[in-house]
Amino acid sequence: MILNGKELSKNINLRLKQRCDNLNKKGISPGLAIILIGDNLESRKYVELKKKTCLKIGVDFNIREYDNNVTDEDIIEELVKLNNDKSIHGIIVQLPLPDNLNELNILNKISVDKDVDGFHEINAGKLFLNREITFSPCTPLGCIELIDHYGIDVEGIDICIIGCSNIVGLPLSMMLLRRNATVTLCHKYTKCLKNKTLNADMIVTCCGVPKILTQDMVKEGVIIIDVGINFLDGVLVGDADFDNLKNKASYITPVPGGVGPMTISMLLKQTIESAERLINI
């Protein structure tokens, strides 16, 4: 079965629009601010998708653009302004950043209460310490929403995650552990990757290597969540060899149309939740 993130995200976005409308009736307009640095083509395309979805749902979209020569101090100065702007409920710094910038320093200057990407060390710490979470990283959260929608129970199953970034692999491993899955986290130094994947009931690929997961590496009936976004000969592909795996897997996400749309929906969901908290203050 294909795990259709594109279709699910459309349904989620419809519900988010209703929540936006309710906030508007109370005089609140959810606002998202994005800081975009440099000329990374993929980042710009991704920001355009976020803008398009914001406009459909009714979230105010604000963008601050800088060239590659910007300094940490310049970005932090802008973040302080956005932190204090009551019309802004969510702030993200589009990654990756140019090498001359200190990513950790910049991300930690975002207000914890507006960190809708979930990358501030306090929000990340709550996830890893199994505390009540305010914001979660959007791509792992999108994966969880997707498997929940299709009624996939991860309790007790063996899950292999290929890729251990702070953006996807690490936080997703914690989310799955909290649901009592048994998680194996693999990376570029992992020996005998095939041995790990062959024993897995579910495999999550998030390493950015086109079609690294092949048919001979999985067992019959495996569940495959492909987070990878790669261009191969001008074609967008995932980390899994979709065409040769789709008939062997019981569930599989396509690329595009799988996890990607869910990531944007989760970003806007957390922005709207941030705005809704104003009502309860």
The CATH 3.40.50.720 portion of the chain extends over 138-259
Mean pLDDT of the 192-198 span: 97
Q: Select from 143, 29, 175 the least CA-distant residue to 90.
A: 29
- Report the CATH architecture of 28-113: 3-Layer(aba) Sandwich (3.40)
pLDDT of residue 135: 96
Between the alpha carbon of residue 212 and those of residues 116, 175, 184, 203, 238, the distances in Å are 31, 24, 17, 12, 9
Helices (H), the chain: 5-25, 41-57, 72-84, 103-107, 121-128, 138-149, 169-177, 193-198, 242-245, 259-280
> What is the percent of the chain where pLDDT is above 70?
99
Q: Flag whether pLDDT at 281 surpasses 60.
A: no
Full-model pTM: 0.94
pLDDT of 93 strictly over 90: yes
Full strand arrangement of the beta sheet holding 182-186:
182-186, 158-162, 202-205, 223-226, 251-252
Residue ranges of the chain assigned to CATH 3.40.50.10860: 28-113
| Lowest mean pLDDT, pick from 36-45, 140-149, 220-229 | 36-45
pLDDT at position 280, please? 67
Domain covering 138-259, topology: Rossmann fold (3.40.50)
Residue 45 falls in the annotated catalytic set:
no
pLDDT, position 130: 87
50 is catalytic: yes
Give me 199's structure tokens: 């024993």
Q: Which of 50, 114, 126, 211 does the annotation list as catalytic?
A: 50
pLDDT band at 40 (very low <50, low <70, confident <90, very high): confident
Terminal C-alpha separation, the chain: 43
Which is the catalytic residue, given 115, 117, 201, 241?
117
Question: Is 270 assigned a catalytic role?
Answer: no
Cβ count near 85 (within 10 Å)? 14
